[in-house]
Structure 1
Amino acid sequence: MRVALYARYSSDQQRAASIEDQFRLCREHAAREDWEIAGTYQDAGISGASQILRPGIQKLVRDAQCGLFQLVLAEALDRISRDQADIATLYKHLKFAGVPIVTLAEGAISELHVGLKGTMNALFLGDLAMRTRRGLRGRVELGKSGGGLCYGYRVVRRLGERGEQVKGDREIDTAQAEVVRRIYREFAAGISPRAIAKKLNDQGISGPAGKLWNDTTIRGHVRRGTGIINNELYVGRLMWNRQRYVKDPATGKRVSRLNPESEWIVTDVPELRIVGDELWQAVKARQSEIADRLVNLTEAAQAHHQRNRLNSARRPKSLLSGLVFCGCCEGPYSLRSVDRFACSSHTSNGSCPNKRTIARSELEQRVLAGLKNRMMAPEAAAVAMRAYAEETNRLNRERRANADGWNAELVKVEKQIRSIIEAIKAGMFHVSMKAEMDALEARKADLTNQLAAAPQDKPDLLPSISSLYARKVAQLTEALNHPDDRPQAAAALRSLIEKIVLTPGAKRGEIDATLYGELGTILNWTKRQVVGPANKNTPGAGLTGVSLSMVAGTGFEPVTFRL
């Protein structure tokens, strides 16, 4: 029996050694059962409230589907996930792959465990959140920190009357407070947040958490109270419960939501005041002026789009957001004004010298051309097929070796069973013969089940891979031009790209682009059998079910080329 071990620790344990403790207990159990450990999977410092973004659990599911192990072993079900829906989804995926879950706390996991434990874990999370919020509110109403440390302050460490450590106290950091007042004065004087950030970085003044300053750190969000110039703690008002966070079930990421003003908790803390009323009001007045200008610009832009509704309707969404990076600072390239990609570090705080920009449409055309003309080249397909064949042959040898051993043992067991039956027919019987027969029959059933469940050999080569890939890329390119098929085609395109790096070229205004991909991903995307729309001549036909896996098989090497 080949088993996979899974372990996780999160902020409720605060101890990285917990993962090794979980693995140690699982290894001891596997040794007692004479199980072979096929691999270990872990997620460190990640909450159990969602498994969507956990790389360890995702790799576990993918490897289970590939038949790399026959059972998943963990310390307890809540170490896998505390989210009821996630537990049910994981259970269904593993059950479909023929891989059961066993935990040291609950034993073999069934639908009953999934339902009851999932409900209990969901109730635990809800109760924990309620008790945590109640405790934080009590601290805030006493004028103490509700979590986190704002720039301009430092933690006060002291002991209470009974010798316990008092938490939540802070005091003004004189040096940082002067930087805060400087930011307020310069912003009120008409200097932009980007220019302020650049000056601070040029002078070697560290920002919050020791990071570089950028424009968003300073301007933040007015309604949410984020950013240096919106933090009311600087005028002696401690704000709490201004916003809440909810988990997006599609991505597992936390999304902020603004709470009604009636739910805000406000406590006066005049001893923590850094900025005077006059300076605060001057900053608010300039923010109002900026907001009015933005409203006028927005109305003008809306009127312009009304006059150009046809062009606006045809304007496609960005396909490459989140995949484009700067070759100078390794930071992200993001869409800026007039639909152009620009280095975020350069535009936000001037910390990167790369000021080259590129039109979104031009970059998308170069990427599509590179995918079509380079990744579908015969040599790329040949490398992918060779690696696939080598890995397939290795797995086939393992399957054959296991099956040969099981068949040989099955023949031996059946021969022993026949010998006992013949002895009984001849009139010989002992009580010990019954126990021996039961053990042999159980072993025969076990071997029969293992042989029946053993996956069949896969073909060593995919001779039509090049033509299949060429056809799919052509369908993908065509589908990107049709609004109805564009979202699905965009997802397929993004699955083929690891990242795109942009660096300044040798000539003025020139920008070089390098695409990083994964042949394993491309092969997996190409060989996956999919079922498209009924009409195969329609754009996007055959794209339904395209795999978005980014995991490369053994032997696959990354592919890189200039665009």
Structure 2
Amino acid sequence: MRVARGLVNELYLDDLREKTHRGLAGQFDRGYHVGGVCYGYRSQPTADGRGRELVIDEEQTSVVRRIFNEYADGSGIRTIVHRLNAEGIKSPRGGTWAVSALVGDRARGAGLLNSEIYIGRLIWNRRQWLKDPETGKRCCIDRPREEWQIRDVPHLRIIDAATWDAARARDQHRTPSKGGAKMRTLFAGLMRCSACGGPIIAIDARRYGCNVRKDRGPAACPGGGAFLRTDVDQALLSVVREDLMAPEVLSTVIATVQAAVRAAEAERQAKTQAAPGRRAALQAEIGRLVDAIADIGMSPALRARLAAAEAELASLPEQTETPIDADRLAQQAIAAYKRRMLDLAAALQKDTTDRDRTRALLAEILGPVILRRDDVGDWAEMEEPAQRVALAGSTLLSVVARARFELATFGL
């Protein structure tokens, strides 16, 4: 029965999707506006009240003309973006401008500099959103060009032909963006900027820097600039080799694990001892709620409180739970710690042949690394590595999930 209902629901949604798209296509054919609103315009109801139309937004239009003129005159994309953010001009989404907002994808017509509506050519039905049956997430799919619907709208033109042609001529000499390039540095994807929280990337062959600052300018990230890659790599690798693989660290790890497990066991015992009293109180409350519902009927407030009380009652620990064996769990954690260290040592020895594996191990062991700069020098902050390795990724995870790691700071 469930399979049949699922099939019926899927057929209904397919039919609804087709009818909705057919209705939008009809509105477009009748001259109305459907779809999203491009920067520089706003949507408003038509005079006949049967649809919507685009009108020029004069304030945003001045920004669009400025971007096209500066680009046509030779200014770089990143330079334009930095200027807009420095002046506090809001992007189409209300935040800071990014290079991708201007460049986009030439083939798909995405990006402000590629949008043909600015020369009075409106295109609809270029892409569609579909749900991935495996992940359940919506993804954007480009439609074939023969399915695009195009309409001339000269009254919406805001960029003259000469400026548009000059921008297109510059495109012929611009190297296409290498978006999604493979990460090559050892610590790529691990480091974050202390000023804005953005990712730290290799901004050139010698330096790491904040990607937000590079892409959007100092107005978006007031961070302290770039870090030498050799200094960062050597400092973080020394943390791994000297602070994690040293034999004397093992005793500290054992003590840390045992203390964490005993703390978790003490907390569990306290909850278990308090459970009978709390259970009796919740059962009495549920009885009163049921009586109230029987007398006056169900209400949103009663339903919510009853659901909360029943959920809390179900979460209370039972008296018969087996005590935690701290020594056994500590031994399991130490064994897992040693395995990770052996894996990491082997990966570092053959880093050049399997850098992806090495990077994955470092990410698991070090976690997020915050790079910051102050008057004293450059620093890397992270969760205490030995504690993180010992208390994560093993059977201890379900026992000490709320264990707090100390913050470790290392000079670069």
**With structure 2 as the length reference, what TM-score do the two structures score?**
0.70
Q: Output aligned runs, 1:122-137, within 5 Å.
A: 122-123=10-11, 125-137=13-25
Question: One-letter code of the match for 2:382?
Answer: L
Alignment of 1:223-242 (within 5 A): 223-242=107-126
Q: Is the 8 A contact 1:346 1:355 kept in 2?
A: no
Work out the CA distance in 1 between the residues paired with 2:72 and 2:384. Answer: 47
RMSD: 4.1
Q: CA offset at residue 365 of structure 1?
A: 4.9
Deviation at 1:394, TM superposition (A): 4.4
Greater CA drift, 324-333 or 460-469: 460-469
Structure 1 residue 138 displacement after superposition? 3.4
Structure 1 window deviating more from structure 2 (326-335 vs 131-140): it is 131-140
Q: Offset at 1:193?
A: 1.3
1:479 aligns with 2:347: yes
State yes or no: 1:387 paired with 2:234.
Answer: no
Counterpart of 1:330 in 2: which secondary structure?
A: coil
Residue of structure 1 equivalent to 2:38: 150
Name the aligned partner's letter for residue 273 of structure 1.
Answer: R
Q: 1:232, CA displacement in angstroms?
A: 0.9
Aligned pairs for 1:75-86 (under 5 A) are none
Could you tell me which of 214, 239, 242 is aligned with 1:370? 239
Tell me the residue number matched to 1:558. Answer: 405
Report how far residue 273 of structure 1 moved: 1.4
1:342 pairs with 2:189? no
Instruction: Map 1:174-185 to 2 at 5 A.
Output: 174-185=58-69
Contact 1:233 1:272 survives alignment (8 Å): yes
Cα deviation, 1:509-563, whole Å, max 9, x if unaligned, reads x64221247988644545349xxxxxxxxxxxxxxxxxxx8x8945411332123
Which residue pairs with 1:204 in the alignment?
A: 88
Q: Is 2:382 the counterpart of 1:515?
A: yes
Shift in alpha-carbon separation, 1:395–1:136, aligned structure 2, 3 A: farther
Distance in 1 of aligned mates of 2:29 and 2:262: 66
Q: Which is bigger in relative contact order (C-alpha 8 A, separation at least 6)? A: 2
Contact 1:517–1:560 (8 Å) recurs in 2: yes
- Tell whether the 8 Å contact from 1:235 to 1:273 is kept in structure 2 after alignment: yes
Following TM superposition, by how much is the alpha carbon of 1:501 offset from its aligned partner in structure 2, in angstroms?
1.6
Letter in 1 for 2:107: R
Summarize the alignment of residues 245-256 of structure 1 with structure 2, pairs less than 5 Å apart: 245=129, 255-256=139-140
How many pairs align?
A: 357
Structure 1: how far apart are the matches of 2:4 and 2:225?
Answer: 57
Q: CA deviation at 1:168?
A: 3.8
Shift of 1:184: 0.6
- Structure 1 length-normalised TM: 0.53
Aligned partner (choices 154, 167, 176) of residue 270 of structure 1 = 154
Q: CA deviation at 1:245?
A: 4.7
C-alpha distance in 1 between matches for 2:230 and 2:12? 49
Alignment match of 2:326 (pick from 448, 457, 460)? 460
Distance 1:520 1:145 in 2: 58
- Residue 182 of structure 1, CA deviation: 1.1
Distance in 2 between the 1:280 and 1:132 partners?
35
Separation of aligned partners in 2, 1:286 and 1:493: 42
CA distance in 2, matches of 1:323, 1:254: 27
Structure 1 residues 562 and 128: alpha-carbon distance in aligned structure 2, compared to 1, 3 A threshold: farther
Cα distance in 1 for partners of 2:383, 2:6 equals 40
Distance 1:366 1:225 in 2: 45
* Partner SS for 1:156: strand
The alpha-carbon distance between structure 1 residues 385 and 318, as it changes in their structure 2 partners (threshold 3 A), is farther
In 1, the alpha carbon distance for the partners of 2:338 and 2:26 equals 63
Q: Does 1:494 align with 2:378?
A: no
Contact 1:320 1:364 in 2 (8 A): yes
How big is the shift at 1:460? 2.3
Deviation at 1:242, TM superposition (A): 2.4
Q: Rate the CA distance shift 1:343–1:124 in 2: closer, same or farther, 3 A.
A: farther
Q: Deviations over 1:417-448 (max 9, x none)?
A: xxxxxxxxxxxxxxxxxxxxxxxxxxxxxxxx
* Runs of 5+ unmatched residues, structure 2: 277-317
1:469 and 2:357 correspond: no
CA distance in 1, matches of 2:134, 2:242: 34
Counterpart of 1:190, as a letter, is G
| Structure 1 residues 296-307: aligned runs within 5 Å | none
In structure 1, list runs of 5 or more residues that go unmatched: 1-111, 299-314, 404-450, 530-548
How far apart are the structure 1 equivalents of 2:369 and 2:362?
A: 13
CA positional deviation for 1:395:
4.1
Alignment of 1:258-297 (within 5 A): 258-291=142-175
| Amino acid corresponding to residue 109 of structure 2 in structure 1 | G
The DSSP-based 3-state class of the residue aligned with 1:279 is helix
